[in-house]
Structure 1
Amino acid sequence: MRQLFIIITSFLLLLFQSEKEEVSNAPYVYVLGVAQDAGYPQINCEKQCCKRVYENPEYRRMVSSIAIVDPISKEEWIFDATPDFSEQVKLLNDHTNRHGDLPEGVFLTHAHMGHYTGLMYLGREAMGAKNMNVFAMPRMKSYLETNGPWSQLTLLGNIALNSINNMKAVQLNERVAVTPILVPHRDEFSETVGYLINTGKKQILFVPDIDKWQLWEHSITDLIKQVDVALLDATFYKNGEINRDMSEVPHPFVEESMELFENLSKEDKAKVHFIHFNHTNPLLIDNSEAVRTVVKYGFKIAKQGAVIIP
């Protein structure tokens, strides 16, 4: 009887160890930045929201971006090339100990300044990269190919543009696949997409910019239920947050999103990580009333430098 107990215990320990190794080797999210396109602090802002950063530089946050890291293949992909791209590549390299390397590719969401202008650091005036893989939707690809200075990046072979299409998966390796999903946004120069990232057994939704959830042909609540992690647009916490007509810069207010998500289960709410905060958004301030409210209702707040394991 004792021998049978030892055999069963050994088997369970081996099974637990196998599952633990599988989790530790699974691809995961590494958060490279959480701020809106213009960063935090924002240019020429003399309000208290930015003064606190001038006085305490450790509060600075880089522009919204994430990486997918595959520990098995030692590959990484960055989502959006922000104005902080140089520092974010360094942050990622420090995390993965791949010093001096670029990621395997960059997936772009759209042509607003915080989401693609970091490509300039791959050009002649900077590192002069060789055929860096950049994945872009048709209008975004055409925009880069036909407008300077971006066209020079393709002409000189600094970047290699890869076409992607709505709801068509791109298989990056045997574990990681990425599917772009069109979202309604201010599409002056390109279409806008979010991404559904499949890491084998887990799925991650990344939507840093959208006008309003109700304008989307997809149900955000249904998608949250289907995925394991959802990094979602939280540019503004509430209406009236900035001194301009906020209909000119439509985004789902965090208050609106929490109301829309209130009937989700506790487990589904915990999947939501808010990201892409304007400099006025109190979610940038640790332990603010807004932060406490979001946490109380069961949601999470993306943190720069955080690892998110689905």
Structure 2
Amino acid sequence: MRHHLFWPCTVLLLVLGMVLGGCAMQGRRPSEPFIVVLGVAQDAGYPQAACRKACCAPAWRDASARRHVACLGIVDPETGQRWLIDATPDVREQLRMLDAIAPVAADNVSQVGLAGILLTHAHIGHYLGLAQLGREVTGARGVAVYAMPRMRAFLEGNGPWDQLVSLGNIELRDLAAGVPVELAPGITVTAMVVPHRDEYAETVGFVIAGPGRRVLYVPDIDKWASWDRRIEDELARVDVAYLDGTFFANGEIPGRDMREIPHPFVEETMGRLGALPASERAKVRFIHFNHTNPLCRGEGAAVRRVGAGGFGVAREGELMPLVRVPSGEVE
């Protein structure tokens, strides 16, 4: 039985400094289930490889301006369990970040301290980190990896991923759209199929449900109008929504037909949801920023514009409680 303790605010930012290009997290550790944002960038990270343009210059100059690939951690302090949504190319640093806020008693490297990893799809920013579980790195043992049917078949049928299965580094577990997976007492995750470029596997978003709150995570989707659900309806069913913010506006990549890489522009999402009540708009936190997206820098006119519209921008290290947060109450 959980005894709910109140959080000082809806979003608790514990990133108080940067050390050697990584997050130095400090502050009181929550005693109830929570989500932690471990990355906010698109698959390539920020700065992007070989980018010599002005958009990446600040991050090449200053390690503290760099951003990890989009990833959420789920933590249950009561059981001491931790999960990742997606295994990104930055999983090494993200595990270190997770250790800082939710330590585990692992006495050797093969005990990576993960109860499981839930995969959204088979694009490079979302599963390449599984390689770090192999014999060349951690030599992990039996890490549960939750995957949709095509995603599972992709991992089982292609190297080097099939070796992770055959050597027992990972244990594949089935995901099915609309079927909740219980991670721990009071914590479930439910996959929902979204339209995206599905060359190798399905693409899903997740609803993470805790003892008192629900969080929607959709880092990749083609366009809201292409979905067989209304984003407004899904927003009404949750308390917080981390939504695809890959590109801020059309024309962001000069000389590139952006129809080849469909995503709902942040401008489009704000326009579509702009007439909703302030309480609904405040649920939205954009994530998964391309290196060209000014939101990736975390400040400036674009960030102010999002805030003025009543929306939010996800930040690395922010915690989102999965328990209800009564107004005016503190832990």
Q: TM-score, normalised by structure 1?
A: 0.92
The 3 A distance-change label for structure 1 pair 236 and 99 is: farther
In 1: Cα distance, 2:93 partner to 2:259 partner: 32
Q: Name whichever of 166-175 and 177-186 sits farther off.
A: 166-175
The match for 2:266 is 254
For CA contacts below 8 A with separation 6 or more, give which structure has more relative contact order.
2
2:294 aligned with 1:288, yes or no? no
Measure how far apart 1:54 and its partner are: 1.0
Offset, 1:305: 1.0
Residue 48 (structure 1) aligns with: 54
Q: Secondary structure at the match of 1:268?
A: helix
- What CA RMSD, in Å, does the superposition of the two structures yield over aligned residues? 1.4
**Alpha-carbon shift at residue 200 of structure 1 (Å):** 2.2
Aligned with 1:204: secondary structure? strand
Q: Does 1:135 align with 2:141?
A: no
Structure 1, unaligned runs of 5 or more: 1-17
Query: CA contact under 8 A between 2:4 and 2:32: conserved in structure 1?
Result: no
Aligned partners of 2:210, 2:268: CA distance in 1, in Å?
A: 30
Instruction: Tell me which residue corresponds to 2:228.
Output: 217
Q: Give 1:90 shift.
A: 1.0
Is the Cα contact below 8 Å between 1:26 and 1:199 reproduced in 2?
A: no
1:201 lines up with 2:223 in the alignment: no
Letter in 2 for 1:246: M
Q: Which amino acid aligns with 1:160?
A: E
Residue identity over aligned pairs, in percent, reads 48
**What pairs up with 1:269-308 in 2 under 5 angstroms?**
269-308=281-320
Task: State the distance in 1 between where 2:139 and 2:200 align.
Answer: 25
- CA apart distance, 1:98: 2.1
Q: Aligned partners of 1:166, 1:122: CA distance in 2, in Å?
A: 26
Taking a change above 3 Å as real, the CA distance of residues 58 and 99 of structure 1, as seen in their structure-2 partners, is: farther
Deviations 1:262-306, CA, capped at 9 Å, x for gaps: 111111111111000000000012331110000011111000111
Q: Of 58, 73, 90, which aligns to 2:64?
A: 58
Name the SS for the 1:179 alignment partner.
strand
Q: Is the 8 A contact 2:187 2:210 kept in 1?
A: yes
Shift of 1:102: 1.9
> Counterpart of 1:66 in 2: which secondary structure?
strand
Matched residue of 2:75: which SS?
strand
Aligned residue for 2:58, secondary structure, equals helix
Instruction: From 195, 199, 204, give the equivalent of 1:184.
Output: 195
Comparing 164-173 with 110-119, greater Cα deviation is found at 164-173
Count residues with an aligned counterpart: 293
Answer with 1 or 2: which has the greater Rg. 1
- CA distance in 1 between counterparts of 2:273 and 2:293 reads 20
Structure with a larger share of its residues in helix: 1
Does the aligned pair in 2 maintain the 1:93–1:99 contact within 8 Å? no
From 90, 95, 102, the equivalent of 2:101 is 95
Matched, 1:159 2:165: no
Question: How far did residue 99 of structure 1 move?
Answer: 5.9
Find runs of 4+ consecutive structure 1 residues off by over 4 angstroms: 21-24
Shift of 1:70: 1.4
CA deviation after TM superposition for structure 1 residue 124, in Å = 1.1
